[in-house]
Chains A and B, each alone.
Chain A
Amino acid sequence: MKEWLRVFKNGLSIENPLTILMIGLCATLAVSTQVQGSLFMGIAVIFVLVMSNTLIAMFRKVIPDEVRIPIFIVIIAGFVTIVDLFMKAFFPPIYAVLGIWIPLIVVNCIILGRAEAFAYHNTVWLSIADGFGMGTGFSIVLVGLAFLREFFGSGKIEFFGTAILKMPAGYAPPTILMMFPGAFILFGFIVAFMRWLSERSAARKAA
């Protein structure tokens, strides 16, 4: 398999930032109340991750070891602020949903973690593949969790104010799904499910 494809796939499966590495959970639990917001959060994270990975990999040979973390943070914060301003200017309804969670991408461990663990030691192309892989892996789990929470927790899925999927009338949504404890419980089930999948495929390979 091509090296970049392997790196990309790692982010989706065996190194998935949410279900395996378990980083960036704080934002995930907070944002995953709505599919619409989660989708845009995913896009924002992919953008920031790919851009910061690219820049850091490009300059990895000239960034001195001792000050690499401050430099990473400035680069990441720069891109996050760009996303923040652009979203505010061109997608105000989305910005209204995500609010504070966009600036907080700066402190999302996934981004600094990948800069430190991957981009600082690998070529630009591989780092881009890693950024896309990690970002996509994050987004898939985030949107999946948001789908379960919004559909079962509020009884419908809304996109820009119109419901595209609805529970039958008379369904009383359990509010706990909308709150953090519900998110934690649901997230636990998702992790367990992923575990089960990977164990099953490992067992098949062994057989």
Chain B
Amino acid sequence: MKSSPLNLILSVLIVCVVAAAGLAATYSITAPIITAQDKAAEEAALKGVFPDAASFKSVEPALLEKVQALAGDTKVDAVYRAIDSAGAQIGWGLKVGSRGYGGYINLVLGLDRDGKVTRVTILSMNETPGLGTRIKTEPAFLEQFATLPAGFTEKDVKGLDMISGATKSSRGVRNSVSATAIIFEKVLKDAGEVR
């Protein structure tokens, strides 16, 4: 086709507009499903770390900000209060992530009122299958975090085993857990709801 400046501009413009419209349509169909799935996965993970909790309540924004300021390189997406069926707070559910080998390893971690880790589960990660993913496929790795004493420190976390061949991935999980130790000590310890 003979090209003039006008039809060069027009053709790119038309293609872009059509593509944008197509994507907007796809997005409007899939976005609610994706959000619902993310939420369901997060809820299931929270239930997994606190089987006794009846409900989870997001903390107030001011408290979340305080927590995030303490976390350093670890990102804290959300902090929940775990509430039991009697309405009393039994602990904290944290959605945290630290860099592993392939981007962020997102965890859901439960802390009881004394600051003891109840359980750590992996929400999402992009680690190398067969290597980095062993942090999930070898349950002993995640289970050892529940053996940390109440009021554990970064030093306690460093004493735990890593998976050889998956050093960066193991460290990603450890960094998140260490960060929660500091967060608990400085903020969450005194922020629990009393009844």
Contacts and interface: CB of A to CB of B under 8 A. Distances in A.
Interface of A: 33-34, 37, 61-67, 70-71, 74-75, 77-78, 81-82, 85-86, 88-90, 92, 96-97, 99-100, 150, 153-154, 175, 178-179
Given A75-B19, A175-B165, A178-B131, A85 B8 contact: no
Contacts of B22: 78, 82
B100 to A, nearest CB: 13
Assign chain B's interface to a size class: 20 to 34
A61 B1 contact: yes
A89 B34 CA distance: 5
B12 A179 contact: no
Given A82-B26, A85-B27, A62 B11 contact: yes
Interface string B1-35: 10100011001100110010011001101110110
Residues of B contacting A: mostly: helix
16 contacts: A33-B129, A63-B11, A66-B3, A67-B8, A67-B12, A71-B15, A74-B16, A75-B19, A81-B26, A85-B30, A86-B30, A89-B37, A92-B41, A96-B124, A150-B130, A154-B130
Contacts, number: 75
A42 B23 CA distance: 22
Contacts of A65: 1, 3
Given A63-B1, A86-B26, A89-B30, A178 B11 contact: no
Contacts of B26: 81-82, 85-86
Contact of B34 (A62, A88, A178): A88
Contacts of B130: 33, 150, 153-154, 175, 178
B30 A88 contact: yes
B69 to A, nearest CB: 29
Contacts of A90: 33
A96 B41 CA distance: 12
